[in-house]
């Protein structure tokens, strides 16, 4: 059976992204905290201190918000899950209203700071227009950000310039953009009013408007074309890659298995073995993110049970809780599990074997259970090296413990336990 798992793990560059799940204001702080491996509270406090020290924190936050991509575009799900999400077969996360609380608190804090400034320095001519203008720009930026999120979520849509700003529409987005625009004009107006007369204000507003319109006319079509080209190209690339992936996988696995089943249709054992291994393969491809067997104990056990299923024609149901990379010290327990599984498949005569592994910080425990013929462990002959040598003695040699519980006619359970030492450098 072929597997399409890549042989080389692609080199991963760590890139900072904005966190779209735990977001208060764009998710910059939580994204940064994740990237740096710091508690998010520290990062937030850092921004606060920066903001208090002459506003550097705010500028830094705003800059990061503009530069950092959202994490959604990097999210990498198994194809089955991704497809189920795209076709609306899984629930979508709804953003909770409860998240607004801290934002309101921040807003109140900001207003408080502004009021404090005002009482301290008197009514500065420049200060208010500046604040209003910044709020206006922030509102528009916030809306564009929302629209960007939506674009990443649904991949099928073409982008038109209106959509880029408004997203899927809705009164909230329109209100945000218009409020933002109005605030910018109010800011311009106030500035002009306080520094000159009404005439100057009107001139400035008109000049600003003309400037914006001019830029829109000259650059608009070009930007629009560029954007739509980019979208088409990206969509086409994604589509063809996906099609190639699916085709390759179907050919490598499903089609070949079906062909084999047709050839062996007279032999139920072969058919069920093929079907089982194909099911396992497809399931792994669709619903789990690939891990290398060298990387984790769960992956090692998955591989082991697949091997036993194929070799002996029994079902092996593997359940793992927690996971750990496989260091040298854990390797013996995996080997002992292999021996226990082989024994169960060979001698028990049960159609199904349950494997349960639990990894806690202090130990790895593995249970191998079957409902087969069972035997009397006390009456086991001395020459049975499989159990004594490969399971019990092996585990004890490496500081672990093995126990075999069996009752004739009921079944057998092998309990393996290996303590994990704290890693010391």
Contacting positions for another protein (CB under 8 A): 78, 80-81, 84, 87-92, 279, 283, 287-288, 317, 319-323, 354, 356, 358, 367, 369, 413
Nearer Cβ to another protein (15/90): 90
Nearer Cβ to another protein (88/381): 88
Q: Which residues contact 252 (CB under 8 A, 6 or more apart)?
A: 2, 3, 4
Within 10 angstroms of residue 133's Cβ, the number of other Cβ atoms is 19
- 195 Cα distance to chain centroid: 52
Question: CA 281 to CA 9: how far, in whole Å?
Answer: 19
Based on the number of CB atoms within 10 Å of its own CB, is 94 exposed (0-12), middle (13-18) or buried (19 or more)? Answer: exposed
Structure tokens at 391: 């399971």
Structure tokens at 255: 């089609």
Contact status, residue 218 vs residue 160, Cβ threshold 8 Å: no
Question: CA 25 to CA 62: how far, in whole Å?
Answer: 10
Contact status, residue 280 vs residue 270, Cβ threshold 8 Å: no
Nearer Cβ to another protein (320/390): 320
| Nearest distance in Å: CB 284, another protein | 8
| Nearest distance in Å: CB 249, another protein | 17
Rounded to 5, what percent of the chain is helix, strand, coil?
A: 65, 10, 25
Nearer Cβ to another protein (204/308): 308
CA gyration radius, the chain: 32
Would you give the end-to-end CA distance of the chain in angstroms? 42
Residue with tokens 């995996």: 334
| Nearest distance in Å: CB 24, another protein | 17
Nearer Cβ to another protein (283/385): 283
Nearer Cβ to another protein (145/354): 354
Q: Which residues contact 248 (CB under 8 A, 6 or more apart)?
A: 4
| Nearest distance in Å: CB 81, another protein | 6
Based on the number of CB atoms within 10 Å of its own CB, is 138 exposed (0-12), middle (13-18) or buried (19 or more)? Answer: middle
Give the DSSP H or E segment for 175.
helix 171-195
């Amino acid at each position: 059976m072929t597997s399409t798992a890549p042989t080389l793990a692609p080199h991963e560059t760590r890139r900072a992204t904005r966190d779209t799940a735990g977001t208060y204001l764009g998710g910059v702080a939580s994204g940064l905290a994740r990237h740096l491996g710091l508690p998010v509270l520290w990062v937030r406090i850092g921004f606060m201190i920066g903001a208090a020290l002459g506003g550097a924190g705010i500028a830094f936050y705003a800059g990061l918000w503009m530069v950092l991509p959202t994490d959604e575009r990097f999210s990498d799900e198994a194809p089955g899950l991704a497809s189920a999400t795209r076709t609306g077969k899984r629930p979508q996360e709804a953003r909770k209203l409860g998240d607004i609380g801290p934002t309101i608190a921040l807003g109140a804090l900001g207003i408080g700071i502004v009021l404090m400034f005002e009482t301290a320095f008197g009514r500065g001519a420049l200060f208010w227009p500046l604040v209003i203008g910044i709020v206006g720009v922030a509102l528009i930026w916030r809306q564009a950000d929302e629209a960007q999120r939506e674009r990443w979520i649904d991949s099928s849509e073409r982008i038109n310039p209106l959509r880029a700003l408004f997203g899927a529409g809705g009164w909230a987005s329109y209100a945000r953009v218009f409020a933002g625009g109005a605030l910018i004009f109010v800011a311009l107006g106030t500035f002009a009013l306080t520094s000159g007369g009404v005439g100057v204000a009107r001139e400035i507003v008109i000049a600003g408007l003309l400037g914006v319109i001019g830029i829109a006319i000259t650059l608009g079509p070009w930007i629009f074309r560029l954007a739509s080209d980019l979208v088409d190209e990206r969509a086409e690339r994604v589509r063809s890659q996906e099609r190639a992936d699916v085709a390759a996988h179907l050919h490598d696995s499903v089609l070949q298995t079906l062909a084999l089943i047709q050839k062996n249709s007279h032999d139920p054992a072969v058919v069920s073995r093929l079907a089982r291994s194909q099911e396992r393969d497809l399931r792994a491809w669709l619903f789990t993110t690939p891990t290398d067997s060298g990387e984790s104990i769960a992956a090692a056990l998955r591989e082991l049970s697949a091997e036993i299923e194929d070799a002996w024609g029994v079902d092996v149901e593997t359940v793992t809780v927690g996971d750990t990379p496989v260091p040298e010290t854990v390797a013996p327990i995996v080997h002992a599990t292999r021996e226990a599984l082989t024994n169960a498949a060979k001698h028990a005569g049960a159609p199904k074997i349950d494997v349960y592994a639990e990894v806690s910080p202090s130990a790895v425990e593995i249970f191998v259970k079957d409902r087969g013929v069972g035997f009397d462990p006390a009456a086991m002959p001395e020459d049975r090296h499989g159990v004594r040598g490969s399971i019990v003695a092996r585990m004890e040699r490496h500081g672990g413990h093995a126990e075999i519980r069996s009752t004739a006619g009921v079944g057998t359970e092998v309990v393996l336990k290996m303590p994990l030492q704290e890693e010391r450098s």
